[in-house]
Amino acid sequence: MKSAIQQRAAGLGFEACRITTAAPPATADRLQAWLAAGRHGDMAYLARTADRRADPQFVLPGARSLILLAVSYAPEATGTNAAEPREEAASSRHGLVARYARFADYHEVLRPRLDALGATIRELGGPGTRSLACVDTGPVLERDLAQRGGLGFIGKHTNLISRQLGNWFFIAEILTTLELPPDPPERNHCGSCTRCLAACPTRAITAPFELDARRCLAYLTIELKGAIPVEWRPAIGTRIFGCDDCLAVCPWNRFAHAGALMQPHRRPDLSQPDLLELLALDDAGFKARFGGTPLMRIKRRGLLRNVCVALGNAGDAAALPALANTARSTDPLVAEHASWAITQITTRLETNA
């Protein structure tokens, strides 16, 4: 049955398929300590679901196995260098979007394939077999379980690394009541490398394997719903959705390859969008441009907030009229970030005059 499931997974486009037991992850206590230290910031849902994350039985009663899956979202052309340079915007008018978000929403892409694999699992297991699929939205400590099942190892940046796929891949899992032989765990292969720690713009990776999400640019531009703290705004640069710096410098990316499943869903227009064009979007324009993509998650106000910060960091005089108009927004969050950006740009212009 295990071989049949893995063959079916490969046929559905998954680059890797591993198995682990449904036993509680050994790292649940570390999650509690991390939450107690407040390092999750405003992500209250992590605290609310902490007990469920500590034991897969709370997610699917009677679960005996987890099927762990990987899908590559690596760039079409990956270099052979040990590490990729940090991506730079093409100009001061262009913003950066995290690589995983330059596609149609991966949840929607993976869901029908997970459903198809779940149907195979239930067919193989017979009557009474149950399964439940998750794509980073379920209360599962997926990276810890993925390491236990040999899908990859958790790097010093706290993300999962695969020796076959590098850092550029999505994780999904299917919990099932079917008992399957588990795969051996993967050991850590970071060695003495600390490139990810050095690359983090805000030193959010406070020590190897330790992340303070409140300082992470992915958190600040996606998860945080309120004002971005002024002290971290300069570090955002021109990023408007997420940050790839700690992933890009990892030497294991030399093994990354573009997966066939995600390629048809690539959105080249999301790579480095024009910031002034984004600032001009109304609600209808925002939905038309970003509907069905991960950027819908931050809504238009979150995007405008981030675009204002990016223009404040890199914009020139040409951005001032659009920012002045945005500063008159009825949304206090957007207006404040636009005013901040205007101050940043005018200060630069006066200094360079």
DSSP letter for each residue of 116-176: HHHHHHHHHH-TT--EEEESS-SS--HHHHHHHTTS-EE-TTSSEEBTTTBT-EEEEEEEE
Dist. CA 56–CA 142, nearest whole Å:
10
Dist. CA 70–CA 171, nearest whole Å:
5
Dist. CA 179–CA 63, nearest whole Å:
8
Q: How many residues does the chain have?
A: 353
Contact 35, 134 (CB under 8 A): no
Dist. CA 233–CA 185, nearest whole Å:
39
- CA separation (Å) from 244 to 59, 96, 216, 309? 30, 10, 11, 18
Residue 92: what pLDDT? 77
The structure tokens 């994780």 sit at: 171
Dist. CA 138–CA 129, nearest whole Å:
20
Beta-strand pair 160-161/169-176: unpaired
- Catalytic residue flag (residue 274): no
Integer-rounded Cα Rg, in Å, for the chain is 21
Residue 20: what pLDDT? 98
Dist. CA 280–CA 343, nearest whole Å:
20
Of 29, 105, 115, 136, the active-site residue reads 136
pTM above 0.85, yes or no: yes
Residue 221: what pLDDT? 98
Exposure string for 113-127, b = 16+ CB within 10 A, e = fewer: bbeebbebbbebbee
Q: Token pair for residue 156?
A: 């010093």
Q: Is residue 108 classed as helix, strand or coil in its secondary structure?
A: helix
Helices (H) and strands (E) in the chain, counts: 15, 10
Dist. CA 23–CA 118, nearest whole Å:
20
DSSP 347: H
Q: Is residue 56 classed as helix, strand or coil in its secondary structure?
A: helix
Q: Is residue 229 classed as helix, strand or coil in its secondary structure?
A: coil
Of the candidates 279, 290, 283, 252, which has an alpha carbon nearest to the alpha carbon of residue 104? 290
Contact 201, 244 (CB under 8 A): no
Sheet containing strand 169-176, edge to edge, reads 16-21, 65-72, 169-176, 131-134
Name beta bridge partners: 210. 207
DSSP 13: T
Of the candidates 142, 125, 147, which has an alpha carbon nearest to the alpha carbon of residue 56? 142
Residue 72: what pLDDT? 96
Residue 138: what pLDDT? 82
Q: Token pair for residue 163?
A: 């020796």
Residues of the chain with pLDDT under 70: 76-86, 89-90
Of the candidates 317, 315, 234, 239, which has an alpha carbon nearest to the alpha carbon of residue 272? 239
DSSP 37: T
Of the candidates 297, 294, 302, 244, which has an alpha carbon nearest to the alpha carbon of residue 278? 302
